[in-house]
Structure 1
Amino acid sequence: MLLHEPLIRLGVFLGVLLALLVLERVAPWRAGQRALGMRRWPGNLGLAVLGALLVRATVPAAAVGAALWAQARGIGLLPALGAPVWLAVPVSVLLLDLLIYWQHRVAHAVPLLWRLHRVHHADPELDATSGLRFHPLEILLSMGVKMAAVVALGAPAVAVLVFEVLLNATAMFNHAAIRLPVRLERWLRLVLVTPEMHRTHHSEVRAETDSCYGFCLPWWDHLFGSYRVAPAAGEGVVIGVAGWREPAQQRLDRLLLQPLHGRAL
């Protein structure tokens, strides 16, 4: 399984992305209100490709490699505690998701980090490709944090692979411009961050932007007081960041340089 990590991740990525893009046509959220639509895709997908290339060029083994390195040396909290694999895997996935929650909150609180993260929030519309729209430097920083946590925890490599696949898939899912049946959405958001929940986080209203930080599990927002049921404007919520809505600002070159411009917070 671990030998085929790149193929597994690529296969899940393409499968989930294509499925969500189809669903966005079958059950759209706010149909007819997508002014830019696919014209944003080259920038969003370009950032994803550059981020992946940057990680592979600087830390080729990435998080799974860090787990294998630590595992071979018996390093980490879980091995020190003698945790069996059946326990270490779910605990690792849970704690890594908690790490991403707090990393996300810090990115909203620290001006320099917000400049990088703002590239993600400056998408004037939401769809599955928005879940891939992160500045390459933010991707690299995030990978460094994850690798350090994986080694400190002694997370099994299979747990790291499962987490990485889940994180990528749920990021695309909760940014997707789909409308779930009301009852399904109400139950699903108890165990998973749904598109309806995450749209609050992409509101132009800063108090709403600074809420609902979860990517995969919604429990951390409830536990740490950052959960909001819905944006105050409801279906009329304005997505994005003021001052970053022009079509030209969605070009890949402009997205890469965006952290150098504008106010930090």
Structure 2
Amino acid sequence: MEATVRFGVFLAILLLMVVWEFVRPRRPLNNGRGRRWPINLGLAALNVALMRTSIGAAAWLAAIWAADQRIGLFNLLPVPYWLALALTLLLLDLAIYAQHIAAHHWRWFWRLHQVHHTDLDFDTTTAVRFHPLEIMLSMLYKAVLVLLLGADPAAVIAFEVILNACALFNHGNVGLPPLVERYLRYVLVTPDMHRIHHSARQAETDSNYGFSLSCWDRLFRTYCHSPTLPQTEINIGLDAFRRADELGFIQLLAMPFRSPRKR
């Protein structure tokens, strides 16, 4: 049930974003979809298969076990159910923000995360371009957090759905009307905000780490309002990885195990 809900919402948002990108793209693609999409969607399919046959439900199962054993913060404190749900969503989002910063600043973690940043264009399929080991480590990290919080299973499912939906949205090659962009960015990470994070300029890459809520970047001073270049001219990707023969499916899986390059 948990996996069906997550996957169903994921497919619906993915299709919506793909249609939006075709109808009204924010910027032209430099490398096209013919080469990138099979690689990005291939990684997504591999990750889904590996997670479904291993630890894909770890966070949800951890929440059920915590509830049965009455362990974790919200199972021990007399907190109203609605408040526990809201705080769980908020704290898990903060934890993912912290994880994202760690992925950029811990060398061993960056070896995995750089696979995501080697995409030379930026569209909704970039949201699923992750190395399988990073996906697995992230799930184990969330499972530990769920146990510590005593998170309700419904809150865990809701968080995963929201996280996936926001990632597909804020990686989209789409733009919002200026007024909508201005005010929505006070709450959510928008595509224009997250596109800056995928800039080849390291000062911009090391900013806008939020996945769902934008408040963490503002609170911890990692927010970048505008890129050096216009949005339509941002150089996407990593300068250390520009050759097509380095960015194939097998090459991306092997990338973390090769000699690291300067960011």
2:73 and 2:112 map into 1 onto residues whose CA distance is 31
Gapped regions of structure 2 (runs ≥ 5): none
* Residue 13 (structure 1) aligned to one of 10, 14, 18: 10
2:226 and 2:70 map into 1 onto residues whose CA distance is 45
Q: How does 1:107-256 map to 2 (within 5 A)?
A: 107-235=103-231, 236-256=233-253
> Quick check: 2:3–2:57 contact (8 Å CA) kept in 1?
no
> Quick check: 2:240–2:262 contact (8 Å CA) kept in 1?
no
Residue 85 (structure 1) aligns with: 81
1:37 and 1:192 map into 2 onto residues whose CA distance is 27
SS at match of 2:134: helix
SS at match of 1:134: coil
- 1:51 Cα deviation (Å)? 1.9
> Quick check: 1:200–1:209 contact (8 Å CA) kept in 2?
yes
Cα distance 1:239–1:133, how it changes in 2: closer, same or farther (>3 A)? same
> Quick check: 2:240–2:261 contact (8 Å CA) kept in 1?
no
2:34 and 2:158 map into 1 onto residues whose CA distance is 30
- 1:250 Cα deviation (Å)? 3.1
- Residue type matched to 2:24 in 1? A
Paired residues, number:
261
Cα distance 1:60–1:212, how it changes in 2: closer, same or farther (>3 A)? closer
1:135 and 1:264 map into 2 onto residues whose CA distance is 19
Identity of aligned residues (%): 49
> Quick check: 2:188–2:214 contact (8 Å CA) kept in 1?
yes
TM normalised by structure 2 equals 0.95
2:177 and 2:58 map into 1 onto residues whose CA distance is 38
- Residue type matched to 1:140 in 2? M
- 1:26 Cα deviation (Å)? 1.4
> Quick check: 2:97–2:216 contact (8 Å CA) kept in 1?
yes
Residue 54 (structure 1) aligns with: 50
Cα distance 1:206–1:199, how it changes in 2: closer, same or farther (>3 A)? same
SS at match of 2:151: coil
Gapped regions of structure 1 (runs ≥ 5): none
Residue 101 (structure 2) aligns with: 105
> Quick check: 1:201–1:211 contact (8 Å CA) kept in 2?
yes
1:51-75 CA distances to partner (integer Å, 9 max, x unpaired)? 2232333325321111111111111
- 1:249 Cα deviation (Å)? 3.0
- 1:244 Cα deviation (Å)? 1.7
Cα distance 1:36–1:243, how it changes in 2: closer, same or farther (>3 A)? farther
- Residue type matched to 1:93 in 2? L
> Quick check: 1:36–1:247 contact (8 Å CA) kept in 2?
no
TM normalised by structure 1 equals 0.95
1:60-99 CA distances to partner (integer Å, 9 max, x unpaired)? 5321111111111111011111222111111100000000
- Residue type matched to 2:205 in 1? T
- 1:109 Cα deviation (Å)? 0.5
> Quick check: 1:192–1:218 contact (8 Å CA) kept in 2?
yes
> Quick check: 2:189–2:210 contact (8 Å CA) kept in 1?
yes
